[in-house]
């Protein structure tokens, strides 16, 4: 599909009666927006350059537009479906944005600088329907899918807010929500992340993380975007997985792992297996060995995520050198295994702590 026309705004996901913003439309369609349709065609291109080139979404700052047009775009809120409500800067440099949607929901996004990497952790839904026992995002249940425009707006607006620190150069779909349960919008958003006339990111710089929806994993492989896939496995056996991820009961582990194999074979991209370490739950030596045995059959790297505390939930990360021991056990069996560095926890921006403000 031509990425320039790949962003169908899904009316069901927009606030009833609201006009779509420019970011809800494919870039090639911007000239057809009611406020630009009467303007010369180059105006749409100028606006596009401000938005995708400079991360500027406030029309009043688009200095090469005539003042009347700037005002009309601003009064209509015509550019972006999100507003930045708050920013929190962590002592470690991570930056959490709280966005507000036009229908007044909170969406959180985290910018994580590390060397020359500026990774943006993007949300795909308001709330989450999965109810993983250890995660804050599902505590208040599921509210709605984000539109493609709302996902793209997180990147554009982080670009605007982050300068001069530099533009986002990696996107991980690891914010609130289960991206593969918002599949059509996710695909549209990813086409805009990668499009030259959009965010211009390489597909290799995008990672989709999923709790594991086999049919959608296969669809994503077939879509051929070339993005990376991460699976939140979190347990080496079906029984333990079902205890901490209740919806896993409906997904046989074999079927899930076969979908992972399919993704690797089809895309050539090694899959990342995420494994949260919950003290006393899934962090024993036996579990490390079982994990290594399971993963050995696939081309994958294990990424251990020491549990981040969530208010009201009882889970804790393993103490002392238990994390290093678990990692050693997995590595001894020839599996690549890394430990994710905790970032942004002082402002509740770490994995599993995003709850929409
Ligand atoms: N729904 C997708 C995207 C969320 S990504 C998925 O499940 O993959 C967020 C990652 O953080 C997931 O791997 C999730 O399981 C993990 N996570 C959730 N709660 C956490 C916590 N309290 N501490 C550490 N990681 C957590």
CA–centroid distance, 209 to ligand 1, in Å, is 9
282 lines ligand 1 (CB under 6 A): no
Active site residue 329: no
**Tens digits of residue pLDDT in 9-42:** 554 554 544 678 999 999 999 999 999 999 999 9
Strands, DSSP E only, in 170-259? 170-173, 206-210, 228-232
Mutate to test the pocket of ligand 1, among 122, 132, 134, 135 (most ligand atoms within 8 A of CB): 135
Domain regions of the chain by residue span:
20-76, 82-347
Kind of pairing, strands 271-277 and 300-306?
parallel
Active site residue 108: yes
pLDDT for res 10 = 52
CATH class of 82-347: alpha beta
State pTM to two decimals: 0.95
Surface-to-core class of residue 23, CB atoms within 10 Å of its CB (0-12 exposed, 13-18 middle, 19+ buried): buried
- Note the helical H segments in 41-116: 42-48, 54, 67-76
Ligand 1 atom with least separation from CA of 130: 1
Those residues of the chain that have pLDDT short of 50 are 1-6, 11, 14, 16-17
Cβ-contact 171, 206 below 8 angstroms = yes
**Tens digits of residue pLDDT in 241-271:** 999 999 999 999 999 999 999 999 999 999 9
Among the options 29, 108, 150, 178, which is catalytic? 108
Q: Whose CA is nearest to atom 17 of ligand 1?
A: 352
Task: Return the biggest CA–CA distance within the chain.
Answer: 68
Residue 203 phi/psi, 5-degree rounding, is: -60, -30
**Nearest alpha-carbon partner for 81 in 47, 45, 57, 52:** 57
Helix axes of 214-223 and 183-194: crossing angle, nearest 10 degrees: 30
Topology, domain 20-76: DNA polymerase; domain 1 (1.10.150)
> In which order are the strands placed within the sheet that holds 106-114?
82-89, 95-101, 106-114, 117-121, 170-173, 206-210, 228-232, 271-277, 300-306, 337-339
Cβ-contact 209, 255 below 8 angstroms = no
Mutate to test the pocket of ligand 1, among 112, 122, 134, 227 (most ligand atoms within 8 A of CB): 134
């Amino acid at each position: 599909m031509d990425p320039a026309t790949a962003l169908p705004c899904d009316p069901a996901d927009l606030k009833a009666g609201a006009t779509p913003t420019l970011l809800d439309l494919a870039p090639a369609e911007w000239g057809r927006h009611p406020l630009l349709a009467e303007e010369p065609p180059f105006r749409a291109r100028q606006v596009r350059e401000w938005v995708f080139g400079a991360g500027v979404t406030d029309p009043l700052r688009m200095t090469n537009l005539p003042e009347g047009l700037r005002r009309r775009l601003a009064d209509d809120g015509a550019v972006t479906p999100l507003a930045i409500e708050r920013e929190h800067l962590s002592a470690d440099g991570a930056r959490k944005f709280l966005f507000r949607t036009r229908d007044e929901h909170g969406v959180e996004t985290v910018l994580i600088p590390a060397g020359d990497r500026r990774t943006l952790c993007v949300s795909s839904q308001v709330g989450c329907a999965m109810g993983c026992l250890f995660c804050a995002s599902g505590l208040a249940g599921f509210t709605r899918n984000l539109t493609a425009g709302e996902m793209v707006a997180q990147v554009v607006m982080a670009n605007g807010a982050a300068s001069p620190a530099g533009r986002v150069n990696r996107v991980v779909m690891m914010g609130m929500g289960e991206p593969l349960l918002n599949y059509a919008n996710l695909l549209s958003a990813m086409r805009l992340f990668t499009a030259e006339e959009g965010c211009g990111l390489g597909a290799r710089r995008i990672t989709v993380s999923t709790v594991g929806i086999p049919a959608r994993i296969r669809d994503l492989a077939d879509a051929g975007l070339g993005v990376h896939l991460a699976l939140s496995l979190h347990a080496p056996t079906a029984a333990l997985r079902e205890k901490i991820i209740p919806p896993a009961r409906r997904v046989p582990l074999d079927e899930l792992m076969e979908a992972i194999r399919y993704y690797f074979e089809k895309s050539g991209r090694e899959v990342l297996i995420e494994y949260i370490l919950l003290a006393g739950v899934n962090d024993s030596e036996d579990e490390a060995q079982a994990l290594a045995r399971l993963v050995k059959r696939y081309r994958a790297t294990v990424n251990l995520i020491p549990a981040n505390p969530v208010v009201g939930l009882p889970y804790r990360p393993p103490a002392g050198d238990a994390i290093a021991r678990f990692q050693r056990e997995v590595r001894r069996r020839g599996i690549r295994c890394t430990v994710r560095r905790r970032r942004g926890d002082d402002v509740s921006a770490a994995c599993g702590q995003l709850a929409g403000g």
